[in-house]
Amino acid sequence: MPASTDRYDIAVARYFEAWNTREPAALARAVAIAWAPQGGYTDPLADVRGHEGIVAVVAAAQARFPGFVFRQTGSVDGHHDTARFSWELVREADGAAPVAGSDVITLEAEGRIMSVLGFLDRVPAGT
């Protein structure tokens, strides 16, 4: 079981690395490491496939929330090729976390993300 748990934890760590990488070339590399080439990302605000689409979604979120980082809350829970975890969008200046969510990921054989289904659990009014 530990090898499987490590697989999920590594995939989720790579996921957050991508979401928190700001320099464009580094972001593209981080997405390529975390997601399979045909991988996708779907949440209430986006539905994209492929590395370019994922990079665009991440960059748009970073532009909308400058000075914020994504942080995992709790542990990763997984079985087979699927894992779930929760996160918060944290303002670096004061630690406020106005946005929170939960994601479910599906992994390919090499451990890269094939799909993300994102859910927004807490969103500020007017967002």
> What is the tens place of the pLDDT at every residue in 96-123?
999 999 999 999 999 999 999 999 999 9
What global pTM score does this model have?
0.93
Side-chain half-sphere CA neighbours of 74 within 13 A = 13
Calpha distance 9→3 (Å, rounded): 10
- pLDDT digit string, tens, across residues 5-29: 799 999 999 999 999 999 999 999 9
**Which structure tokens are listed for 66?**
């400058």
Quickly count: other Cβ atoms within 10 Å of residue 119's Cβ: 13
Q: Return the closest-CA partner of residue 43 out of 58, 27, 63, 59.
A: 58
